[in-house]
Every structure is written in C-alpha cells, then in structure tokens.
C-alpha cells in the first residue's frame, strides 16, 4: 500500500504546522515576557543574575514603577539649571543655525573641513 506524494506531504506538513506556529509564537512572545519580568526586579538583582526568568516573590519591586511615574516637576530630581538661557539671547534659531550649522561657513563646517570630512550634501 503506497501513499501518493500529496498524501505524504499533507500528513507531514499537517503535523509540522502546529509545531512551527508554537515555536514562532514562543520566539515572538518571549522578549515581551522577559521585559515584564525585568521591570519587576530591582536593578541590583538584574545585574547579578540577568538570566533569571522567574523572579522570587521577595524580589518583586514596585518602586521601579513609582520612580518612573514620578512627576517631572520634582525639583530635587530635575533642578533648574543655574545658567538657564533662552535661544533669543543668541539671536533666535535662525541665527544660531546659520552660525553653527551652515554647510559653507558654519562652525561645524569649519571643524569638519579641518578634519578632512566632507560638509556638502
């Protein structure tokens, strides 16, 4: 009793299809799973054992999310610079762009020319 080529291919491919789909699903989902697991672990723990895929219950740290979601208005985390300036003090964006980034006579063009780097497009 011989089977035709079509029947053999259908049986083999029929059996391999769910296996290939499962492997592709694992390969696609694993990076997201690992990202979520790492986000619950403190940085020290991640640095000591980056390959740990199952964090222990005592290792879960919600403080990471608190620091990320903290307001950017926190003056200790984001202090106002002592020498804060406005671009208008330098003549506005057009003047600064012309002075520093003009491809023919700008400061960056001169630096690149001195190094032998092309400044043209």
Q: pLDDT tens digits for 14-62?
A: 999 999 999 999 999 999 988 887 787 877 787 888 777 777 777 777 7
Exposure pattern of 40-62 as b/e (b: 16+ CB <10 Å)? Answer: ebeeebbeeeeeeeebeeeeebe
How do the domains of the chain map onto residue ranges?
1-71, 85-121
Residues 21/2, Cβ–Cβ less than 8 Å: no
Span 78-114, pLDDT tens digits: 777 888 888 999 899 999 999 998 888 889 888 888 8
State the pLDDT at residue 49.
Answer: 83
């Amino acid at each position: 009793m011989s089977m035709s080529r079509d029947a053999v291919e259908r049986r083999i491919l029929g059996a391999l299809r769910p296996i290939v789909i499962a492997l592709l699903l694992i390969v696609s989902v694993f990076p997201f799973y690992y990202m979520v697991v790492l986000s619950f672990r403190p940085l020290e723990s991640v640095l000591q054992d980056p390959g740990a895929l199952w964090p222990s219950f005592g290792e879960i740290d919600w403080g990471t999310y608190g620091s990320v979601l903290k307001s950017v208005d926190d003056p200790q985390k984001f202090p106002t610079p002592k020498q804060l300036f406005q671009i208008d003090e330098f003549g506005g964006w057009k003047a600064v762009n012309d002075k520093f980034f003009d491809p023919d006579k700008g400061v960056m063009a001169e630096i690149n020319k001195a190094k032998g780097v092309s400044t043209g497009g």
